[in-house]
Amino acid sequence: MADGERAWDDDSEYEEAAWRADEAARAGWSAIAATTTGLGCALVVALAVVAAVFLAFSYAWISSDYQSADPATR
């Protein structure tokens, strides 16, 4: 064969394209997984902050009923 000619059964370009597509798909799924994990962690942290604030205000509100300045209201 002359230089530049390929055999009729040469699938090297297809195999390279399929390999690149597979690598791109893996990178895409990795990005999706990382984003989902980050958003999940952010959601858990936000819920923990909301719960902590709720508990702090609940404690302050309930304890204020027991710390009245007027002894007659106890």
In tens digits, what is the pLDDT along the chain, a chain of 74 residues? Answer: 455 677 877 888 999 999 999 999 999 999 999 999 999 999 999 999 999 999 999 999 888 766 665 566 55
- The runs of H, that is alpha helices, within 1-70 are 12-66
pTM over 0.85: no
Domain boundaries, the chain: 12-73
- Contact at 8 Å (CB) between 53 and 59? no
Let me know how long the chain is. Answer: 74
Residue 1 has what pLDDT?
A: 47
Cβ 53 vs Cβ 46: under 8 Å: no
Q: Do 1 and 7 touch, CB atoms closer than 8 A?
A: yes
Distance (Å, rounded) from C-alpha 42 to C-alpha 26?
24
